[in-house]
Amino acid sequence: MSKYSLNDIIGSVEKDDYPPSDFSPELSALWYTKKGNWDKAHDIVSEINTSMGSWIHAHLHVIEGDLGNAAYWYNRSKRDPISPDQLDEEWVLLVESNL
């Protein structure tokens, strides 16, 4: 179990310039996603070769609007694709899945 909560992560995004140094790569990618730094989040997640990494990668491509690429990554993660209006809910689920 993580020492961080969802609210801790949201608070950090709102007040800090960088994620905490003890975040996992997954949480760091999600932190940068919420911060609006898509490129940094994508750089991090591109190095995570797990189903979780693929799920986060898919989420990023939905944000980008590249639903075809997102579908590829959802397939790799064994998850069903979401619609863009579900991004906020999925981000919360992703964070909670990494705590």
- 19 domain-assigned: no
Q: Say if CB 77 and CB 54 are below 8 A apart.
A: yes
Q: What is the pTM of this model?
A: 0.95
Summarize pLDDT for 45-73 with one digit per residue, the tens: 999 999 999 999 999 999 999 999 999 99
Q: Is residue 15 part of a domain?
A: no
Whether 68 is covered by a domain: the verdict is yes
**Contact 70/81 with Cβ under 8 angstroms?**
yes
* Domain total of the chain: 1
Residue 86's pLDDT is: 98
Specify if 37 maps to a domain. Answer: yes
Q: Does residue 17 lie in a domain region?
A: no
Instruction: Determine the structural domain holding residue 87 and report its residue range.
Output: 26-97
Name the token pair of 34: 């919420």
